[in-house]
Amino acid sequence: MASSRFTDFLEGGPLLQTERRVWPKWPLLVILALLVLPVGQAWAETAPAPATAPAPAIDNGVTAWMLMSSALVLLMVPGLALFYGGMVRAKNVLNMFLCCMVAIGVIGMHWIFIGYAIAFPANAPILSIGGFNILGFDPGLVMLRVFSEPGQMYRLAMSGDATNAVPTGVPELAFVMFQGKFAIITPALIVGAVAERIRFGPFILFMLIWSTIVYCPVAYCVWNVQGALWTYGVFDFAGGTVVHVLAGVSSLALCLVIGPRVGYGKIPMPPHSLGLTLIGAGLLWFGWFGFNAGSTIAIPGSELKDFMGISAMAFTATQVAAAAAATVWMFVEWWHVGKPTILGFASGMVAGLVVITPCAGHVNPGGAMVIGLIGGVVCYGGTQLKKIFNYDDSLDAFGVHGVGGAAGALLVGIFAIRPLIDDKAPGGMTQFIKQAVGLGIATVFAFVMTYVIATIIHKTIGMRVSVDDEQTGLDLALHGEKGYHLDEDLIV
């Protein structure tokens, strides 16, 4: 009824009609407008203007590079899946793919929920020893809640200065995403040491606990400007210590807890598809340019004007070192076993990338080549250690990442040419000692904590598959799938 009466009113219906004349509707609309407009004008004059925060000074070019670098680092995870997946036996290829890729989901959520709050809090530390900050935590960064507060959504990441930090021009959310990709790939590297025998569910649990107790606190100490090793002066441009040493040393601890594969050293266990491994290594190399050249975001504010120049320096060092290590590994293997192999060349590529990671933005191209050559030889030797000490590091996670990361962490102390300290290049014995101290602390902490975490999980719910499942293959036993159906008639 109300609707009908309102319609009649607008259309000059029966309500406005008399027996003698029909009232036109336009005068009523004019009167209505005259009544409404003053009210609206008064509201506009008295209502407070909405608060507008000044637009942040976002550097669109550098921000675009950071977003691209983040995407490149994420691409390294499927690259790692292919690299590792090709080296296992065919019956375990899908399990290896999933053990790598699942970190994107599980650790990707962990990083947003609590990881970033532990690794990169800007507030006061919650644990300090002898004036060195060991642990931090910012409740406001849990679930990234702070970015929902007024004026905080586009706040800028600050430069890598303990004091007098300045905005980098990059939104902090871009930094959150970039660092999140490092948090994702690091625990995924560990699975290479225990390939073909680890239970999937317990490994996910291990990743979550390990990321919380091992990765995030060390990232705080090394990369946060309040952290103990940062303030001590340890250089780690893109993760030689935080990523590769932690993953490599933890790999060794985990494989010692779980033990070797059934038949290890007695039956052949050749890689099932070295083509996949080589493609994976190529994708890792491609993504590593973002891994290293994107890490320029942590430079001091005084060097922000040189941001992309230092990125170009890191980019170049990455290319040179990887090429040098792949080549020298191939020739060393050729001399040692009599033939160059695809697996050796691919492993050399990754070894060069690992060893240059802590050095990338600190060294010149010549230094990068020497570092790559040394890294190729050292990592080749690292892969031979398991034959001497008889532990089953299935895919040489410790031999390449642990040994290579440690070599790079030390070599940056010798070859670093920036940042300048008191108008002098930082490379030298003083910096080398700082690097050795940082490496020693990270190594002991990672090994002990990983051994304890793995032992507790293994003794309670079990981390290793049964002998029957291992012989059947983890693809079928754990996932009910097969990577290949070459023995079946697929023609319909």
Side-chain-side CA neighbours of 384 within 13 Å: the count stands at: 12
Task: Give the pair of three-digit tokens for residue 164.
Answer: 């007098």
Q: What is the 3-state secondary structure (H, E, C) of 204-264?
A: HHHHHHHHHHHHHHHHHHHHCCCEHHHHHCCCCCCCHHHHHHHHHHHHHHHHHHHCCCCCC
* Gap between the terminal Cα atoms of the chain: 67
The CATH number of the domain covering residues in 60-479: 1.10.3430.10
pLDDT of residue 460: 98
| CATH 1.10.3430.10 domain extents, the chain | 60-479
Spell out a b/e string for 248-287, using b for 16 or more CB atoms within 10 Å of the CB, else e: bbbbbbbbbbbebbeebeeeebebbbbebbbbbbebbbeb
Task: Give the pair of three-digit tokens for residue 446.
Answer: 């990672």
Does 473 have pLDDT greater than 50?
Answer: yes
Query: pLDDT of 278-293, one tens digit each?
Result: 999 999 999 999 999 9
pLDDT of residue 486: 80
Q: Which pTM was predicted?
A: 0.87
Does 20 have pLDDT greater than 50?
Answer: no
| Greatest mean pLDDT among 48-57, 72-81, 124-133 | 72-81
Which distant-in-sequence residues (6+ apart) come within 8 Å of 27 by Cβ? Answer: none
